[in-house]
Amino acid sequence: METNNTKQAAWIALGSLFSFGFGIVSSMILSRYFDKADYGTYKQVLYVYNTLLTVFTLGLPKAFSYFLPRVEIVQARSLIKKITNLFFFLGFLFSILLFVSSSLIASFLKNPDLGLVLKIFAVVPFLMLPTMGLEGILATYRKTKFMAIYTIVTRLVMLLCVAIPVMLLGVGYIGAMVGFVIASIISFILALYFKYLPVKGEGNKKCDVTYTEIFKFSLPLLYASLWGTIIASSDQFFISRYFGNEVFAEFSNGFMELPFIGMITGACATVLSPIFAKLSYEKLNPQKQIFPIWISVFKKTAMLIYPLIIYCWIFADIVMVVLYGQQYESSYIYFRIKLVANFFTLIVYAPLIINIGKVKFYSNVHMVGAVVLVCIEYMSIRIFDSSYAIAGISVVCLLGRIYCMLRLVAKFFNLKMYQLFPVKLIALILLPSILFLFIVRYLLINTLNINYLSMFIISSVLYAVSYFIYTHYINLDYLSLIKPLIRRR
């Protein structure tokens, strides 16, 4: 079972890897071809969309992976259609609201250029909301290779429609947004095809799951998502409103989760959610049947992610310049602040908490966290007037929320909190990596007169080779992460 889970997660991670690749290429192009004001406006459109998206999805994307394992296969098509129809309705409302309130939003964020581009973008929610939940469907039926195909194709289309015209034809941010709309149409068509692919020919019996049951599950998630939206948008709002769109552009490029974390933890969460739903439904012993799966995923994720976090933290300024150009070197400060949180965001706790029925607790933690975050960030504007302070407060509050979640997880497994962490493994990864990378950075900066790209290549190669030798010497088995992906003959 674990081998199959690894394969399923690997397909999703593969798609996310290509998504990250295309996304970073797109950002590199737009950062270089737009000035900071235009790039900041483009990023503000996506900020507005992502902020409102959580509200209009009503927590429904997770309903697929929760209910599908509980219904007969002949009812699955009916259930998928029922939830997808809700997304069509919500997407329509979202698009209308975005179009009508575009000028108000532009005024609120103090950017008059935002109004027109939001009107152009307004059709996107109607196209993209029905695509939600595709991962949950394909993960439930062990068809995540189609998720990889979908992700790769749609991100390639997005790159071709948005970034390439900017580079080759010189279109501005409005032209880029028109390309975004075209790419969304193609994504919409593909998603509807893949949504029903796993249940093709399996019958169309009316499902027993009612709208009442769906909303009973999803609405508590909505409440958590609403608070989560406030949390996710708070620092972006304060920086956008009080520091301008140029600082917002620097912040947007730097204050990001290391993309590989989202790829791997997202893949794990997608695969584990239906598994935890099934195991919880069967009321198995948590410590004996569920904890081994949870800790195994944590260990594998730590082995993959921690070496990358350490490298990116120590060479943060180099990474920012290589990705976005010299004008965004100052973004490395935001990047380093965010990377501190990334040591803990790789813990996949949300699928477990949700599927053991602790959605109310999950929601309450986000509620308290949102109120505390907004209050402290507003106070910091008055006291420090620093965008870096906003970023630091955001990370500290995130660590507080994670602590509360892990206390619940430890109680569920009847363990001490420290037992949730593979402490020895973490020490074996972090301590040698930190020492070696500080030495490499010192030698490269003080002995070689080379550009940032050369420094990035040399440092990453030296680190990769030395880390591989070190892990082989101490028998840290990275081969075990690859073996399940090799097809047995």
| Relative orientation angle of helices 316-324 and 211-254, to the nearest 10 degrees | 100
* Three-state SS sequence of 152-174: HHHHHHHHHHHHHHHHHHCCCHH
Inter-CA distances, 318 with 250, 392, 442, Å: 15, 21, 13
DSSP state at residue 487: P
Q: Length of the chain, please?
A: 489
What is the pTM (predicted TM-score) of this model?
0.66
Nearest alpha carbon to residue 297 among 275, 327, 315, 326:
275
Question: What confidence score (pLDDT) does residue 393 get?
Answer: 93
Question: What confidence score (pLDDT) does residue 149 get?
Answer: 85
- Distance between CA atoms of 131 and 84, rounded to whole angstroms? 8
What backbone phi and psi angles, to 5 degrees, belong to 288?
-90, -40
- Distance between CA atoms of 95 and 53, rounded to whole angstroms? 11
Query: Would you state the structure tokens that stand for residue 313, as one six-digit string?
Result: 């933290």
Nearest alpha carbon to residue 13 among 192, 269, 313, 190:
269
What backbone phi and psi angles, to 5 degrees, belong to 275?
-70, -50
| Relative orientation angle of helices 332-345 and 259-281, to the nearest 10 degrees | 20
Inter-CA distances, 336 with 53, 234, 239, 331, 434, Å: 28, 19, 17, 9, 14
CB atoms within 10 A of CB 449: 6
Query: Would you state the structure tokens that stand for residue 182, as one six-digit string?
Result: 């075209």
Question: What confidence score (pLDDT) does residue 33 get?
Answer: 77
- Distance between CA atoms of 6 and 307, rounded to whole angstroms? 20
**Burial of 64 (C-beta count, 10 Å sphere; 0-12/13-18/19+):** buried
Characterize 124-151 residue by residue with b for buried, 16 or more Cβ atoms within 10 angstroms of its Cβ, and e for exposed. Answer: bbbbbbbbbbbbbbbbbbeebbbbbbbb
Task: Provide CB contacts within 8 A for 224, sequence distance 6+.
Answer: 59, 359, 362, 363, 366, 367
How does pLDDT run along the chain (489 residues), one tens digit per residue? 444 555 666 666 666 666 666 667 777 777 777 777 777 788 888 888 887 887 787 777 777 777 777 778 888 888 888 888 888 998 899 999 989 988 888 888 778 888 888 898 889 999 988 888 888 788 777 777 888 888 888 888 888 888 888 888 877 878 888 888 999 999 999 988 988 888 777 767 888 778 888 877 777 767 777 787 788 778 888 887 888 777 877 888 888 877 667 666 665 666 666 666 666 666 666 666 677 777 777 787 788 888 989 999 999 999 888 888 888 888 899 999 999 888 887 777 777 777 777 777 888 888 899 899 999 999 998 888 888 999 999 999 999 998 988 888 888 888 888 888 888 888 998 999 999 999 999 888 888 878 888 999 999 999 989 998 998 888 887 766 665 544 443
| Relative orientation angle of helices 114-121 and 173-196, to the nearest 10 degrees | 20
Query: Would you state the structure tokens that stand for residue 95, as one six-digit string?
Result: 């698009």
Question: What confidence score (pLDDT) does residue 489 get?
Answer: 38
